[in-house]
């Protein structure tokens, strides 16, 4: 009987402290690699979204100029907080229903800073899109 107990105590099937520490170190290394890669992917996605938004606004303004002609005064589109469009003229020809938002704020600590673009249509028909 004592022999049986002695054999069962020697036959422990579990992980040693060294094995557990190796696993923790490996998980730490993987996390150290994954977090910077994830942040880089997020930054690239935001930059691509920003470039796409600028192309969309440029195309919309060029379409408005082609459809309605050049404005007599410089015309400025800016997005307001409600998602509509406001401008310096009272001309509803250039009204915009849904304004695109910048994918990241101009000031990282302030989530509301720099969330809109400004589109300027000059009297010569040129279009300038400025980002936040």
Note the pLDDT tens digit of each residue in 63-80: 888 888 888 888 887 765
Radius of gyration of the chain (CA): 30
| C-alpha to C-alpha distance for 79 and 76, rounded to whole angstroms | 10
The predicted model gives 2-6 an average pLDDT of 68
Per-residue pLDDT at 37 exceeds 80:
yes
Higher pLDDT, 62 or 87: 62
| C-alpha to C-alpha distance for 79 and 20, rounded to whole angstroms | 55
Four-CA torsion 66, 71, 72, 76, nearest 10 degrees: -160
Pairing mode, if any, of strands 75-79 and 127-130?
Answer: unpaired
The predicted model gives 38-54 an average pLDDT of 88
- In whole angstroms, how far apart are CA 93 and each of 1, 70, 104? 97, 11, 30
Look at residues 41, 39, 59, 62 and name the one whose alpha carbon lies nearest to residue 51.
Answer: 59
How crowded is the C-beta side of 13, counted as CA atoms within 13 Å?
Answer: 1
The model's pTM: 0.61
Per-residue pLDDT at 29 exceeds 90:
yes
| C-alpha to C-alpha distance for 37 and 67, rounded to whole angstroms | 45
Look at residues 128, 122, 64, 125 and name the one whose alpha carbon lies nearest to residue 96.
Answer: 64
Share of the chain above pLDDT 90, in %: 16
Confidence band for 94, pLDDT divided at 50, 70 and 90: low
Contact 68, 128 (CB under 8 A): no
User: For position 15, what pLDDT does the model report?
Assistant: 85
Average pLDDT, the chain: 76
């Amino acid at each position: 009987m004592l022999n049986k107990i002695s054999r069962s105590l020697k036959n422990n099937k579990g992980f040693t402290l060294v094995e557990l520490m190796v696993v923790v170190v490996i998980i730490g290394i993987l996390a150290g690699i994954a977090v910077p890669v994830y942040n880089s992917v997020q930054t690239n996605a935001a930059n691509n979204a920003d470039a796409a938004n600028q192309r969309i606004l440029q195309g919309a303004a060029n379409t408005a100029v082609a459809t309605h002609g050049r404005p007599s005064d410089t015309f400025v589109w800016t997005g307001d907080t409600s998602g509509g469009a406001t401008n310096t003229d009272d001309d509803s020809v250039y009204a915009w229903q849904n304004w695109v938002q910048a994918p990241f704020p101009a000031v990282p600590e302030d989530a509301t800073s720099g969330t809109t673009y400004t589109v300027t249509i000059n009297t010569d028909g040129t279009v300038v899109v400025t980002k936040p």
